[in-house]
Amino acid sequence: MDKTAVFYVFIIGNPDIQGGFCMLASKLYCPTLRNDPVEADIVSHKYMLKAGMIRKNASGFYSFLPLARRSILKIEQIIREEMNKTGAQEIMMPIVQPAEIWQESGRWDVYGKEMFKLVDRHGKEHCLAPTHEELITTLVRNELRSYKQLPINLYQIQNKYRDEIRPRFGLMRSREFVMKDAYSFDMDEEGLALTYQDMYNAYSRIFTRCGLQYSIVLADSGQIGGKYSHEFMALAQSGEAEVVSCTHCEYAADIEQAEPKTLTMDVEPMVELSKFATPHCSTIEELVKVAAVPIEKTIKAVAFDIDGVLALCMVRGDHDVNDVAVQRIVGGNDVTTASAELLKQHGLVPGYMSPIGANKTDESFVILVDPTVMQIYNGVAGANEEGYHYRYVTPQRDFTDVRVETIRFMTEQDQCPLCNAPIQRAHGIEVGQVFQLGTKYSEALQATFLDKTGKAKPFVMGCYGIGVTRTLAASIEQYHDENGIIWPVAIAPYEGVILPLNMKDESMVTIAQNLYAQLMVDNDEFVLDDRNERAGVKFKDADLIGYPIQVIVGKDAVQQGNIEIKIRRTGEKYVVPINEAASQVQNKLKELRQLHQ
């Protein structure tokens, strides 16, 4: 712990202030740090530690202190209000789930090492819930029996657990996190489409009210599965996800889901293959120099082991392989880089791989070639021999027994697949995702209802998740400066702070207390900084914590009857008479709230 940290404690009653209840900074449990924490890699992690919002207990596990808890409760309240507007109903399901329901759905082994598993004293296997599709489906399958009970949408706000291999970035990738997850049950695809749109619209309102700048993109369904999915991405440079969007139309997609168009190249007379020496030349960058060809003429090879199937993937030298697309095409669950031993079994030489000369004998080896590669004439590719490549490779002639599939990531050189306008790439933080699951879980878990004809049919399901704690972190990633956090009012732990600059000046303290009492008539959203600290310390902490409004009570308040209002978001300052201060503060808060409605 930083020795220069300032410690406060929680809420107490204060008989000196009208109403008998006050949040004093001297009693607020908010252990701020003066120095930047060395373990923090991104802004949100740094400022949440520094502002005394969270403390790390173990890798990927955090305690939420009062400021963070207040913000989380506000996010949860916004979520509840918007979910309830759609007719969704809140429930609570257990965190510990029996292995049987996961085995029944087929996901017990699929989920892999990210699932926390445990065995109780009776020898029964359980898991800590990473998600609740199985449990909710088994919950309703014995209760919802008729189409007359549908549609229904149930949600909870609950802790989730995933044993991340490398927890990092604070709340962005932790092993315990708070999530809102909803599950809908409809009679048919048409009903699901309506529910899905309701959730899509509700999510838009939620993130707008939270003040996030976000983009809605087409997404991959991943381990949850389903036919159709959208992600809500908070745009931030620190985001681990990448988003592509059109500069002209509304097209936007997760980089893993975006399917680029095939790029064409000029047709050339085909020249006979020619092997040439390329010693110590196992990267595309080195190959371009040695072969003296444009990078667009080189062919890159990447090999994956997908549940024992070797997938050799060929893309143009200036492109990267989309491993999610490869997994989607090949199937399987566990995707790793192919071992040298596996490559050797199939005649592939690392750094010099290509389909030419590969030993493809059965279905345990698949060669995937991106369509853009098939447009190359007289290119350069590996010869499957250490230190050698081929010139004049024309894949449509030289690559045999291959599957042509789109397996590359979209780049900024691509065009929009809808309108052909230029596209752009940006980083984002996934804060929410909606899925059309269809009958994936209801069929696996035999959850059915009787339709109008009396026939048993599986529920048509959707699921809808919001990362509550991740939304908190994403807001800080978007709203901060070199001094600290800049909260949107709706999710700020407190809306403002009153700063009497000299606690030894009784007149100044009285003015601050009276102003505090006026502001507390309507809400409990202000802190009175009653600490015997220098003005500079109070200003630093106010900026660090990110109170949207600072009300400064200094010498001018005593001598001239004026106080100063500072807006954290803009740095603007307003000098107003004391008798107008409370109404002016409320007006400024109203203006700030309107920014995110």
CATH superfamily of 274-404: YbaK/aminoacyl-tRNA synthetase-associated domain (3.90.960.10)
Average pLDDT for 465-490:
98
**DSSP-derived secondary structure letter, 339:** P
Peptide bond into 66 cis (omega under 30): no
The class (CATH top level) of 43-209+436-476 is: alpha beta
pLDDT of residue 112: 81
**pLDDT tens digits along 171-192:** 999 999 999 999 999 999 999 9
pLDDT level of residue 1 (50, 70, 90 thresholds): very low
Two tokens at 1?
Answer: 């712990």
* Vertex 433: Cα angle to 430 and 435 (nearest 5): 155
**pLDDT tens digits along 357-391:** 998 878 899 999 999 999 999 999 999 999 999 99
Q: Is the pLDDT of residue 5 over 80?
A: no
Contact predicate 553/563, CB 8 Å: yes
**pLDDT tens digits along 219-236:** 876 655 567 889 999 999
Residues in the chain: 597
What percentage of the chain carries pLDDT values higher than 70?
95
- Facing residues of 56 across strands? 62
pLDDT of residue 223: 58
Q: Is the pLDDT of residue 110 over 90?
A: no
Q: Does domain 494-595 have CATH number 3.30.230.70?
A: no
Dump the DSSP string for 113-169. Answer: GGSEEEE-TTS-EEEE-S--HHHHHHHHHTT--BGGG--EEEEEEEEEE---SS-BT
pLDDT of residue 224: 58
- Facing residues of 22 across strands? 12
Do the domains at 274-404 and 494-595 have one common CATH topology?
A: no
Domain boundaries, the chain: 43-209+436-476, 274-404, 494-595
pLDDT level of residue 113 (50, 70, 90 thresholds): confident
Give the position of tokens 């807001």: 475
Q: 402 φ, ψ to 5°?
A: -125, 160
**pLDDT tens digits along 249-282:** 989 888 988 889 888 888 999 999 999 999 988 7
Average pLDDT, the chain: 92
**pLDDT tens digits along 69-88:** 999 999 999 999 999 999 99
Q: 18 φ, ψ to 5°?
A: -50, 135
**pLDDT tens digits along 333-365:** 788 999 999 999 999 999 999 999 998 878 899
What percentage of the chain carries pLDDT values higher than 90?
83
Q: Is this model's pTM higher than 0.85 or not?
A: yes
Average pLDDT for 381-409:
95
Q: Can you count the helices (H) and strands (E) in the chain?
A: 15, 31
Nearest to 76, CA basis, from 169, 586, 84: 84
